[in-house]
Structure 1
Amino acid sequence: MKPIWKWIIGIVSAILVIILGAAWYLSNNYKPILEDKLKEIIAESSDGLYSLQYDALDLSVALGNVTLKNAVLIPDSAVYEQLVAAEKAPNNRFHIALDELKIRRFGVMNLLLNKKLSISSIELATPTVHMISQPHAYNDTVKNEQPKTLYEQIKDDLSAIAVDKIDFTNVKFSHTKIADGKRSTMELDSVQLHIRDVLINEHSEQDSTRLFYTKLVDLSLPGFEYDLPDGFHRAKFDHLKFNTQKRSLLVSKVSFAPRMSKSEFFRRKGKKTTMAIMKVDSLSFEGLDIARLIDDQKIYAQEARLKDGSVSLYMDLRYPSTPKSQIGNSPHQQIMKLKQSIHIDTVYINNIDVLYGETSKKYNQEGIITFNNATGIITNVTNDTVALQKDKFMRADLRAKIMNSGNLHAIFGFDMLSKNGAHTYKGSLGAMKATAFNRIIKPLVNVEISSGNIRKVSFNMAGTDYRNWGDFRFDYDDLKVKILGSKDEEGKRSSKGILSFLVNQILINDSNPDANEVYHKGTVEYKRDPTHSFWKTLWQSLLDGIKQTAGISAEREAKLTQAGRKSQEAATGVKGAAQRTGGFIKGLFSKKDKEDADKKEEKKKKSK
Structure 2
Amino acid sequence: MGRLSKIPRKWLMLIYGGIGILAILIIANILVNRIIQHTVGEKLQHLSPQLKISYSSIKSNLFTSSLALSNLTIVYTPDNSKHQHSVHFPAVKLSGINLLTMLFHRTLSINNLKLSNGEINLDRYLMNRKDTAPMQLLAQVPFKSIAVNHLQLSTFQVLEDHQLLLRGNLGIDDININDLKDAFTTGNFHFGVVKSNLSDINYALPNAYHTLMVKQLTIDSRQGLLEIDSLQLLPQYSKADFFRKTGNQPLFVESSVAGISIHNFDIRQLFDKKLVAGKIVLSYPVLNIYSEATPVKQSSLFIDFRKMLAAIRTDSLRMRRSSIAYETTSGAQLALHNDMEMNKLDIRITDSLPRIHFKTLTCALTDIHATLPGSRQNLLIKQLNIDREGTLQATSLRITPQYNKMEMGQKSGHQVDVVDATISGITISKLDVSQCLQQKLVAEQIWIKESNFYIFRDRRLPRLSRYKPLPVAALKDIPIDIRVQHFKLSTSTLLYEEFPKDKLQTGVLRFEKLQLSLAPFINHPTPSDPDHMELTMEGAIMGSGSIKAAIYMPFAPGKDYNVNGTIDNLDVTSLNPSAENLGNFHVESGLLNHLAFQFSFNDEKASGKVVGEYHNLVLDKLKGQQKKIAKFPSFMLKHVIIPKNKDKSLPVDHRTGIIDYKFDHTRALSFYLLKSLLSGIEASFTFGFLLPK
* TM, length-normalised to structure 2: 0.58
2:424 aligns to what?
A: 281
Counterpart of 2:642 (choices 496, 508, 527) is: 508
What do residues 505-528 of structure 1 show as CA deviations (whole Å, max 9, x unaligned)? 111111114997673211222223
Question: Whole-Å Cα distance in 1 between the matches of residues 336 and 172 of structure 2?
Answer: 34
Counterpart of 1:70 (choices 230, 248, 252) is: 230
Q: Is the 8 A contact 1:285 1:305 kept in 2?
A: yes
2:318 aligns to what?
A: 167
> Does the alignment pair 1:402 with 2:402?
no
Report which structure shows greater RCO (CA 8 Å, sep ≥6).
1
Counterpart of 2:518 (choices 371, 374, 378) is: 378
Q: Is the 8 A contact 2:682 2:688 kept in 1?
A: yes
Q: Is the 8 A contact 1:168 1:192 kept in 2?
A: yes
Question: Whole-Å Cα distance in 1 between the matches of residues 172 and 332 of structure 2?
Answer: 39
What do residues 199-238 of structure 1 show as CA deviations (whole Å, max 9, x unaligned)? 99xxx9xxxxxx9675432122211223345473222211
2:164 aligns to what?
A: none
What do residues 338-388 of structure 1 show as CA deviations (whole Å, max 9, x unaligned)? 23222222101101212222222333222211221211310122221x526
Tell me, what secondary structure is at the counterpart of 1:235? Answer: strand
What do residues 556-576 of structure 1 show as CA deviations (whole Å, max 9, x unaligned)? x39x99xxxxxxxxxxxxxxx
Question: Whole-Å Cα distance in 2 between the matches of residues 535 and 231 of structure 1?
Answer: 20
The letter of the residue matching 1:217 is: L
Cα displacement (A) at 1:541: 1.6
The letter of the residue matching 1:368 is: V
Question: Whole-Å Cα distance in 1 between the matches of residues 659 and 493 of structure 2?
Answer: 29
Tell me, what secondary structure is at the counterpart of 1:342? Answer: strand
1:541 aligns to what?
A: 676
Question: Whole-Å Cα distance in 2 between the matches of residues 376 and 189 of structure 1?
Answer: 30
Question: Whole-Å Cα distance in 2 between the matches of residues 450 and 218 of structure 1?
Answer: 59
> Does the alignment pair 1:251 with 2:394?
yes
Q: Is the 8 A contact 1:512 1:549 kept in 2?
A: no
CA 1:99 to 1:331, structure 2 compared with 1: closer, same or farther past 3 Å?
same
Q: Is the 8 A contact 1:372 1:404 kept in 2?
A: yes
Counterpart of 2:284 (choices 118, 126, 129) is: 126
Counterpart of 2:215 (choices 43, 55, 72) is: 55
1:83 aligns to what?
A: none
The letter of the residue matching 1:310 is: N
Cα displacement (A) at 1:259: 1.0
Tell me, what secondary structure is at the counterpart of 2:194? Answer: helix
1:525 aligns to what?
A: 660
Question: Whole-Å Cα distance in 1 between the matches of residues 393 and 365 of structure 2?
Answer: 10
2:451 aligns to what?
A: 309
> Does the alignment pair 1:321 with 2:479?
no
> Does the alignment pair 1:234 with 2:369?
no
Cα displacement (A) at 1:96: 5.2
Alignment of 1:28-107 (within 5 A): 30=171, 34=194, 54-58=214-218, 66-72=226-232, 97-103=256-262, 106=264
Tell me, what secondary structure is at the counterpart of 2:617? Answer: strand
Cα displacement (A) at 1:256: 2.6
Cα displacement (A) at 1:48: 12
The letter of the residue matching 2:431 is: L
Question: Whole-Å Cα distance in 1 between the matches of residues 207 and 410 of structure 2?
Answer: 53
1:477 aligns to what?
A: 615
Cα displacement (A) at 1:130: 4.9
Alignment of 1:136-155 (within 5 A): none
Question: Whole-Å Cα distance in 1 between the matches of residues 426 and 472 of structure 2?
Answer: 21
2:125 aligns to what?
A: none
Tell me, what secondary structure is at the counterpart of 1:512? Answer: coil
Question: Whole-Å Cα distance in 1 between the matches of residues 280 and 650 of structure 2?
Answer: 85
Counterpart of 2:485 (choices 345, 366, 373) is: 345
What do residues 473-505 of structure 1 show as CA deviations (whole Å, max 9, x unaligned)? 1111111112335467xxxx5434454233211
Question: Whole-Å Cα distance in 1 between the matches of residues 507 and 576 of structure 2?
Answer: 9
Q: Is the 8 A contact 2:409 2:461 kept in 1?
A: no
1:495 aligns to what?
A: 629
What do residues 246-292 of structure 1 show as CA deviations (whole Å, max 9, x unaligned)? 12322222233321111222333343443333332212222222222
1:591 aligns to what?
A: none
Tell me, what secondary structure is at the counterpart of 1:444? Answer: helix
Q: Is the 8 A contact 2:541 2:570 kept in 1?
A: no
CA 1:64 to 1:499, structure 2 compared with 1: closer, same or farther past 3 Å?
closer
> Does the alignment pair 1:433 with 2:571?
yes
More helix per residue = 1
Cα displacement (A) at 1:56: 2.6
Question: Whole-Å Cα distance in 1 between the matches of residues 344 and 320 of structure 2?
Answer: 18
1:423 aligns to what?
A: 561
Cα displacement (A) at 1:447: 1.3
More strand per residue = 2
The letter of the residue matching 2:397 is: V
CA 1:37 to 1:214, structure 2 compared with 1: closer, same or farther past 3 Å?
farther
CA 1:509 to 1:313, structure 2 compared with 1: closer, same or farther past 3 Å?
same
Tell me, what secondary structure is at the counterpart of 1:506? Answer: helix
The letter of the residue matching 1:225 is: H
Q: Is the 8 A contact 1:174 1:185 kept in 2?
A: no
CA 1:65 to 1:422, structure 2 compared with 1: closer, same or farther past 3 Å?
same
2:45 aligns to what?
A: none
2:338 aligns to what?
A: 191
* TM, length-normalised to structure 1: 0.66
Question: Whole-Å Cα distance in 2 between the matches of residues 530 and 118 of structure 1?
Answer: 54
Question: Whole-Å Cα distance in 2 between the matches of residues 532 and 60 of structure 1?
Answer: 66
The letter of the residue matching 1:125 is: S
Question: Whole-Å Cα distance in 1 between the matches of residues 446 and 549 of structure 2?
Answer: 20
Question: Whole-Å Cα distance in 1 between the matches of residues 392 and 408 of structure 2?
Answer: 33
Q: Is the 8 A contact 2:552 2:563 kept in 1?
A: yes
Question: Whole-Å Cα distance in 2 between the matches of residues 93 and 262 of structure 1?
Answer: 33
Tell me, what secondary structure is at the counterpart of 1:547? Answer: helix
2:529 aligns to what?
A: 390
Q: Is the 8 A contact 2:196 2:220 kept in 1?
A: no
> Does the alignment pair 1:221 with 2:365?
yes
Cα displacement (A) at 1:63: 7.3
Question: Whole-Å Cα distance in 2 between the matches of residues 215 and 97 of structure 1?
Answer: 27
- Pairs aligned (count): 480
> Does the alignment pair 1:266 with 2:401?
no
1:592 aligns to what?
A: none
Q: Is the 8 A contact 2:338 2:364 kept in 1?
A: yes
Q: Is the 8 A contact 1:512 1:550 kept in 2?
A: no
Question: Whole-Å Cα distance in 2 between the matches of residues 238 and 335 of structure 1?
Answer: 28
CA 1:133 to 1:220, structure 2 compared with 1: closer, same or farther past 3 Å?
farther
Q: Is the 8 A contact 1:249 1:285 kept in 2?
A: yes
Question: Whole-Å Cα distance in 1 between the matches of residues 414 and 311 of structure 2?
Answer: 58
Q: Is the 8 A contact 1:336 1:416 kept in 2?
A: no
Question: Whole-Å Cα distance in 2 between the matches of residues 96 and 444 of structure 1?
Answer: 53
CA 1:176 to 1:277, structure 2 compared with 1: closer, same or farther past 3 Å?
closer
Cα displacement (A) at 1:66: 4.8
Return 301-310 or 352-361, whichever deviates more. Answer: 352-361
* Structure 2: segments with no counterpart, 5+ residues: 1-148, 155-168, 174-192, 238-249, 270-274, 299-305, 349-354
Question: Whole-Å Cα distance in 1 between the matches of residues 621 and 368 of structure 2?
Answer: 50
1:459 aligns to what?
A: 597
Cα displacement (A) at 1:298: 2.1
Question: Whole-Å Cα distance in 2 between the matches of residues 422 and 281 of structure 1?
Answer: 36
Tell me, what secondary structure is at the counterpart of 1:362? Answer: coil
Instruction: Compare CA radii of gyration and give the structure with the larger one.
Output: 2
2:134 aligns to what?
A: none
Tell me, what secondary structure is at the counterpart of 1:126? Answer: strand
The letter of the residue matching 1:353 is: T
Question: Whole-Å Cα distance in 1 between the matches of residues 660 and 430 of structure 2?
Answer: 43
Q: Is the 8 A contact 2:377 2:419 kept in 1?
A: no
